[in-house]
Chains A and B, each alone.
Chain A
Amino acid sequence: MAKELKKTDVVLVGMGWTGGILAAELSKKGYKVVGLERGANRTLADFQMMHDELRFAHRFEMMQDLSQETITFRNNMKMRALPMRQYGSFLLGNNVGGAGTHWNGQTFRFLPYDFEIYTKTVERYGKSKIPEDMTLQDWGITYEEFEKYYDMFEKTIGVSGDETPLGAPRSNPFPTPPMKKTPALELFFEAAKKLNLHPYMMPSANLSENYTNPDNISRPACQYCGFCERFGCEYAAKADPLNTVIPVALNTGNFELRTHANVVKILHQDGKAVGVKYIDTITREEYIQPAEVVGITSYALNNVRLLLISKMGKPYDPNTGTGVVGKNYCYQTFGASAQGFFENKQFNLYAGAGALGACLDDFNGDNFDHSDLNFLHGANISITQTGRRPIANNATPPGTPSWGAEFKKQSIKYANSVLSVGAQGASLPYRHHYLDLDPTYKDAFGLPLLRITFDFEEQDRQLVAYLGEQTEKIMKEMGADIIQAGKTLGPYNIVPYQSTHNTGGAIMGSSPETSVLNNYLQMWDFENVFIPGASAFPHNSGYNPTDTVGALAYRAAEGIDLYLQKGGLLV
C-alpha cells in the first residue's frame, strides 16, 4: 500500500531546468514546494573527473539508464515500433539538474514569427503555402507578451552575447559580454560579412566573465576547457540548475528535494489533480504526495508519457486529427552543413566551450522570402568551437577510407585543421508525427514505454538542400581547400546522434480543442496542473530550445502563483 504523505502547496515531477525554476520562484514567494527527482543528487564534487571523453561522451555516464526505461520508435504508422536499445539520436538526462546539466549552453530566443507562425505565414503567403498535413498553429501568446520571461531566465543564468541582428528584439542587453572570438570564428565573421550576411557571437550560458545574478548567486568565467556537451561543468561556469536555481530554492527553507523518487502516476479526481504517486527506487516503497498544484517538469518526452499513463487530457488520434495529448511531436532538422579542410592552417580546436560560436539568422524563421521556396521557416547557421575531443572527431577528406593506414594519416593530419558550418533547421508539425503509449514494450516498473512516430518530410529535405547551399557558400568564402557539403536528407534514423531537442506532445495554444495547455502552461482540462517544458512547443524553431524552455518555466511560475491566489483557469 502506498503511504500518504502530508499535503504540500506544490509538487514538482523532475528537477531539471523547469523544476528548478518553479522550485526557486515559488519557494521564494513562500509556498511549500516538494521536488521529486528519480535520479540522485549531485554536487560539483561529482564533476571533478569530468574531462573523460570515454566515460561521459561515449558511455553516457550522465544519461538515463536505458535498461530501466527507453522509448520506442517507428518512422510511420505502418511500421512496428521497436525500443531504442542503445543511445543514438538524442540523450535523456538523469539525476538532479537533468538534461540541463549536460547541455552546451547555446541560449537563443525564438523569433516573433515562431509564436504566431500560422497567422504570419498565412498573412504573407496565403493558406495554400501550408501543406495540407502540416498542423502548424500559433502558440497562444505573442513574442511581445513573452519577452520578459526570456529576460528573467537570461539574467538568472547570465547569458553572454552581443547584438543579434535579425534575431528577436530585446528589452535589455545581454547580462554579460560575448565569449572570446577565436580565429576560426573570425574567419566565419569575415566570410559572412563579405556575403552581406549578418554574423553575431552565439549567445552563451558558459559565462564570458564572473557574474552575480539577481538571486545573488555568483559563478566564475568559462575556462574554455572543451568539455561541455554531455559533461557537467566543474567550474559552474556553464549554467545548470545545480549552480543557479536549486540552491536558491533550498536556501528559502520552503523547498524539499526528494531524490530517488520516481513518479509513476498523477492522481486526479473530478477534473483536478490531487497529487502524485511515486516509488522510492532504493526501497521500492510507494508513496502518495498530495498537493494543491502539480508541476510536471521532467523531460519533454516523459511529461507526455505521464499524462497518457495517468489518463489526463484527450489522447491525440492521428487518423481523425482530434485529441491533443501526443500531438505535434517535432524534433530538429540537421543535415545542412559544410565541412572545410585547411591545408596550411592549424586552429587550437582542442580548446572550446559548448556555446563558443558565431552564427547568423539571415536564413532563419521568415527573415527571407519563401515565395519561391518549397519549405517554411529555416535555420540558424553557425560555426562552433566546442572542443574537438579525439575519440569523436576523426574527420577525413571525402574519399578517405574509414580505417587503415590512409584513415590514420588523414585523420591526424586534419585533426586541428577542419572547421564546420552547420544549420540547425526548424522542425514543423505533421498530422502523422505524434507520441502515444507503446502497446508492447514496458519499463522496469511494468509501465508502457512512450512510442514516437516521426520521419523527415519533403519540407525538411527542401530546407536542408537550400540551407546546405548557404553553408557551402560561407565555407568557400572562409577559404577551405577541400569542402564536403551536406545538402541531402534521408529518413529520420535513430542511430546517429543529432540533438536532444525533442519537442511537443503537450502543446500550448489558444483553444482546448487544439492544445493541452493555455499560455500559462496550465492544462485546460486540469486547472491545477502546469507543464512547462519543450513538450509545450507547438513546433520547434531553428534554434536550441533551452532559452524558451527556461522562459516558459518563469511564465508557469507566474501562472501557479496566480492560480494559488484565485484558482480557476487563468485564460
Chain B
Amino acid sequence: MVTRREFLKGAGIAIGGMALGGGIVAGIGSMAHPSTKEKHHFKELPEYNKALMFFTPTEHAVIEAAAERIFPKDENGPGAKELLVSYYIDHQLAGAWGNGSKEYRQGPFYPGEPTQGYQGHLNKQQIFRLGIEALQNEAKKRFNQSFTSLEGSQQDEILQAFEKGEVEIKGVSSSYFFSLLRSATLEGVYADPLYGGNRNMEGWRMKKFPGHQMSFADIIDKDEFVVIEPQSLHSQHHK
C-alpha cells in the first residue's frame, strides 16, 4: 500500500507547475497533526453517545426494536441494536435532516402523483413521532401489548403492514414512514461511526468495506480479494 505520506510526497513533486491557489499545500499542512497521546484519565470512557437528543425513552425503545428487525443480529455479526442505530436515528432527527431544513417547504401543498415525490408538509421529526405512535397502536390493536414486548415475528407482521401502506396514519402514509425507517437504519449501520452508529466499524467489517483509505492504487487491478482493516474519518482528523 502507498501510505498517505508517500503519496503526498509524490503529489508534492507533481505540483511543480502553477500552485493551485495554495489548496494542496494547505491540505498537507492540516494533515500533519502530531499524534497526541491520550492522557490516562481519558481511558475507558463511557459511551456518552448513548443518550437522547430527540426521542423519549419509550419512543427510542420502539425504534431500537424496529431497527433490529430490519437489520437483525446474525452469524455475520451485530444487528442494528448493538451497532447503536437507534442512537444514530435519534441524533439525525434532532438536526437538519429531522427538521427538513434543506427541503423546499413552501405551500401550497397538494397530494400529487407518485412520480412527483414527497409532497407532505410534515418534517421527519413529525413523521417519526406519528409513525412510532402508530406502531404502538397497531401492537395494541393486534396483540394487546406494546411494540417492544412483542415477539420478533409479531413485530415483523406489523412492519410488513406498514411497508405495504396498510396502516392508517394521519398526515402520512405508513409505507413512507417505513421507507424512512428502513433507509435510516441502513445509514446507521454503514455511516461513518462519527455519526453515532456503525459502532466500532462493525457494520463495515461485515461487508469487508475498508471505510476511509487514502489509496487503493496498489490493489485496484489485483485479482485476489483484499481485506483491509477499516479506518474511519477519525483516522484522517487525528493522526
The interface of chain A, by Cβ under 8 A from chain B, is 43-45, 47-49, 51-54, 58-60, 65-67, 70, 73-75, 79-80, 82-86, 88, 180-183, 210, 212, 215-226, 234-236, 242-243, 246-248, 250-251, 346-348, 350-352, 356, 388-391, 394, 402-405, 408-409, 412, 415-416, 440-442, 491-495
Contacts and interface: CB of A to CB of B under 8 A. Distances in A.
A43 to B, nearest CB: 4
A415 B208 contact: yes
A565 B31 CA distance: 48
A485 B46 CA distance: 49
Contacts of A183: 221-223
Nearest to B231: A51
Interface of B: 2, 7, 10-11, 14-24, 26-27, 30-31, 69-72, 74, 76, 79, 96-97, 101-106, 108, 110, 112-119, 156, 159, 163, 182, 185-187, 189-192, 194-195, 203-204, 206-217, 219-223, 225-226, 233, 236-237
A236 B23 contact: yes
Contact of A350 (B106, B112, B210): B210
19 contacts: A44-B27, A51-B236, A65-B102, A67-B105, A82-B112, A216-B17, A217-B20, A220-B14, A221-B217, A223-B216, A242-B20, A348-B225, A350-B208, A350-B209, A403-B70, A404-B69, A408-B76, A415-B208, A440-B108
A224 B27 CA distance: 19
A352 B210 CA distance: 13
A75 B114 CA distance: 11
A220 B103 contact: no
A212 B7 contact: no
A66 B103 contact: yes
Contacts of B70: 403-404
B20 A236 contact: yes
Nearest to A80: B110
Contacts of A440: 108
A55 to B, nearest CB: 8
A348 B209 contact: no
Which 7 residue pairs spanning A and B have beta carbons closest together? A44-B23, A351-B216, A223-B215, A346-B225, A390-B190, A54-B191, A51-B212
B6 to A, nearest CB: 11
Given A65-B102, A215-B18, A409-B76, A493 B114 contact: yes
B118 A210 contact: no
A250 B21 CA distance: 9
A495 B115 contact: yes
A354 B108 CA distance: 39
A412 B76 contact: yes
A289 B220 CA distance: 50
B102 A66 contact: yes
A332 B6 CA distance: 41
Nearest to B2: A223
B187 A391 contact: yes
Q: Is the interface of A mostly helix, strand, loop or mixed?
A: loop
A85 B117 contact: yes
A66 B96 CA distance: 13
Contacts of B23: 43-45, 236, 242-243
B215 A225 contact: yes
Contacts of B79: 408
A54 B187 contact: yes
Contacts of A235: 11
Nearest to A227: B212
Contacts, number: 220
Nearest to B195: A54
B223 to A, nearest CB: 5
B97 A82 contact: no
Contacts of A388: 209
A223 B192 contact: no
B10 A243 contact: no
A70 B20 CA distance: 32
A53 B236 contact: no
A405 B221 CA distance: 34
B74 A408 contact: yes
A493 to B, nearest CB: 4
B87 to A, nearest CB: 14
B28 to A, nearest CB: 9
Nearest to A494: B117
A49 B191 contact: no
Nearest to A496: B117
B220 A348 contact: yes
B129 to A, nearest CB: 19
A88 B114 CA distance: 13
A350 B227 CA distance: 10
Contacts of A48: 27, 30-31, 236
B113 A79 contact: yes
B117 A391 contact: no
A412 B214 contact: no
Given A404-B156, A408-B71, A44 B20 contact: yes
A347 B216 CA distance: 13
Nearest to B116: A82
Contacts of B185: 403
Contacts of A59: 96-97
Contacts of A44: 20, 23-24, 26-27
Nearest to A356: B220
Nearest to B226: A348
A18 to B, nearest CB: 20
A85 B30 contact: no
B18 A251 contact: yes
A441 to B, nearest CB: 7
Nearest to B211: A51
A415 B204 CA distance: 11
B143 to A, nearest CB: 19
Contacts of B220: 180, 182, 224, 348, 351-352, 356
Nearest to B111: A82
A183 B159 CA distance: 41
Nearest to B216: A351
B153 to A, nearest CB: 11
Best-buried of B31, B96, B103 by chain A (most CB within 10 Å): B103
Given A43-B26, A218-B15, A224-B216, 19 more contacts: A48-B30, A48-B236, A58-B187, A67-B102, A82-B116, A220-B10, A223-B214, A223-B215, A223-B217, A243-B20, A247-B18, A247-B21, A346-B225, A348-B222, A352-B216, A356-B220, A390-B190, A416-B207, A491-B115
Contacts of B27: 44-45, 47-48, 234
Given A183-B223, A219-B14, A220-B14, A45 B115 contact: no
B102 A49 contact: no
A440 B112 CA distance: 15
A563 B105 CA distance: 44
A383 B114 CA distance: 30
Nearest to B203: A390
B128 to A, nearest CB: 16
Contact of A218 (B16, B113, B215, B233): B16
A70 B103 CA distance: 9
A412 B190 CA distance: 12
Nearest to B23: A44
B13 to A, nearest CB: 8
B118 A415 contact: no
A211 to B, nearest CB: 8
Contact of B115 (A51, A60, A494): A494
